[in-house]
Every structure is written in structure tokens, then in C-alpha cells.
Amino acid sequence: AGGGAAFYLEVRELEEKCFIQEIPDGTVVIGNYKTELYDPAMEKYQPSPQWINLFVFVKDPENKNLLARQYGPRGSFTFTSQSPGEHEVCLHLKSIRFALFYDGKLAIHLDMQLGEHTNDHTELAANDKLTLLHLRIQRLVEQVEKIQKEQEYQRRREEHFRQTSESTNQRVLWWSILQTLILVATGIWQMQHLKSFFKAKKLV
């Protein structure tokens, strides 16, 4: 099954808000959003006018840009993940007028949808003349592919954790051996030093 997340962000003009989203590779992500401008006279948020723009920036786990684009006060954006892991999504609002808007307070409502939830199957059926049976098969295939991607992503994470644990354990082992060798060498040196000292004093 697909997934998603909803966000409510309060910002001021040019203030950037970022969050992290875990996304498997090859996943289509759609963000549906609307922005609101605070009206101090009415003491509540109102739909933003057309002269307010939303800037969206998305970076993948390798810090590569997947999306960097300007949008209107309401609408949607989309991108497809290229690698699994933590994706950074950053948003900020800016007016195309010189005047600051009211007291500069804005709100962003964002609904992000991942996986097969992003596919409009009704539109597919209308466009491609799919039968109900074909449509159900298509949904099942998409669900299986999504599950396989999530399982592969979890397997990679477990493998990475296992390799990290083994590397850490190996370093701890070698450090323990090195400490033991240092202690033994120090002990031998001290014994030799004491022996020489006693011989010099003719105590041995």
C-alpha cells in the first residue's frame, strides 16, 4: 500500500521550513498544497492572493536536487525518488509585490501522497478504456511492486546496519588487542628497566 503525510506550517515571508521524508526509490510523490495569509482585521487566515508564490526544493539522500521550482498560492507539485532514504523537502513563500503582506504571517497546508495513491485510476480507466478487471489487476500489480520496493529498501537498511555493526565490533576487537599488546610491552620494558637499575645498584 502507498502512504502519505499531512503538514501544517506557519511561516513568515522568505522564512524557509524544511522537513525529512523517508521515501523508497522509484516512488512518485505528489504534494497538494494551499497557502493562507493572516488577516489581522479578521484575526484569522484567509486564502492567499495570486501575488504570493510558493518555492519548493527537494533533495535526495545524496543531496542532489530533485525539484527546485516556483508555484502559485495553491496547487500541486510532483517528483520521483531516484534512491531510497531520507529526502529533504524545503518550502518558503514570497510575494511578487514590494510591500510586505500585512504582518507577514502565512500558513501552508501540505498533503503528500506516495506510491500508488498518486495514480488516478479513474482517469486511467477513462483514457485507456480499461475494464474493471484490468483495473483491479493494475492496482494489484502496483501494490506488489510497491511492497517489493519497500522490502528491498528495508533489506538495504538492515544490510547497512549489519555492516556498520560488524565494522564497529572489528574496530573494538583490534583496539582491545592493541591495548593488550601495549600493556604487555610496557610491562616487559618496566621489568627490563628495573633489572638494569638493580644491576647498576648491585642489588642483583
Kindly state whether residues 54 and 129 are assigned to the same domain.
no
Q: Between helices 132-200 and 121-128, what is the axis angle to 10°?
A: 130
Q: Please indicate, yes or no, if residue 189 is contained in any of the structural domains.
A: no
Domain count, the chain: 2
**CATH of residue 74:** 2.60.120.680
Q: Are residues 127 and 81 in the same domain?
A: no
113 and 127 share a domain? no
Domain-located, residue 197:
no
Quick check: 29 and 2 in contact, CB under 8 A?
Answer: no
My answer on whether 113 and 71 are in the same domain is yes
83 and 152 share a domain? no
Task: State the residue range of the domain holding 168.
Answer: 120-177
* DSSP letter string, 7-42: EEEEEETT--EEEEEEE-TT-EEEEEEEEEEEETTT
Angle subtended at Cα 145 by Cα 124 and Cα 87, rounded to the nearest 5 degrees = 95
Q: What was the pLDDT predicted at 124?
A: 47
The domain boundary, picked from 95, 118, 141, lies at: 118
pLDDT for position 65 = 93
pLDDT in tens, 29-63: 999 999 998 888 888 889 988 888 899 999 999 99
Q: Looking at the structure, do residues 31 and 105 belong to the same domain, yes or no?
A: yes
Of 60, 61, 4, which is closest to residue 33 (Cα–Cα)? 4
Are 39 and 82 part of one and the same domain? yes
Q: Given this model, what pLDDT does residue 204 score? A: 54
- Whether residue 194 lies inside any domain: the answer is no
Is residue 163 classed as helix, strand or coil in its secondary structure?
helix
Residue 196 within any structural domain of the chain = no
Between CA 164 and CA 158 the distance in angstroms is 10
Q: What pLDDT is recorded for position 91?
A: 94
**Domain shared by 144 and 110, yes or no:** no
108 and 24 co-located in one domain: yes
Low-confidence ranges of the chain (pLDDT < 50): 1, 99-100, 117-118, 124, 127-128
Among 68, 86, 118, which residue terminates a domain?
118
Predicted local distance difference test score (pLDDT) of residue 103: 57
Confirm if 23 and 78 have CB atoms less than 8 A apart. Answer: no
> Does residue 32 lie within any of the structural domains?
yes
188 inside domain: no
Domain boundary among 93, 118, 143: 118
Q: What is the pLDDT of residue 88?
A: 95
Report DSSP state, residue 203.
-
What are the distances in angstroms from CA 41 to CA 45, 67, 100? 10, 37, 16
Shared domain for 77 and 11, answered yes or no, is yes
> Are 154 and 125 part of one and the same domain?
yes
CB 87 within 8 A of CB 21: yes
Instruction: Specify whether 137 is located in the same domain as 171.
Output: yes
Domain contains 68: yes
**Domain assignment of residue 202, yes or no:** no
Q: Supply the pLDDT for residue 117.
A: 45
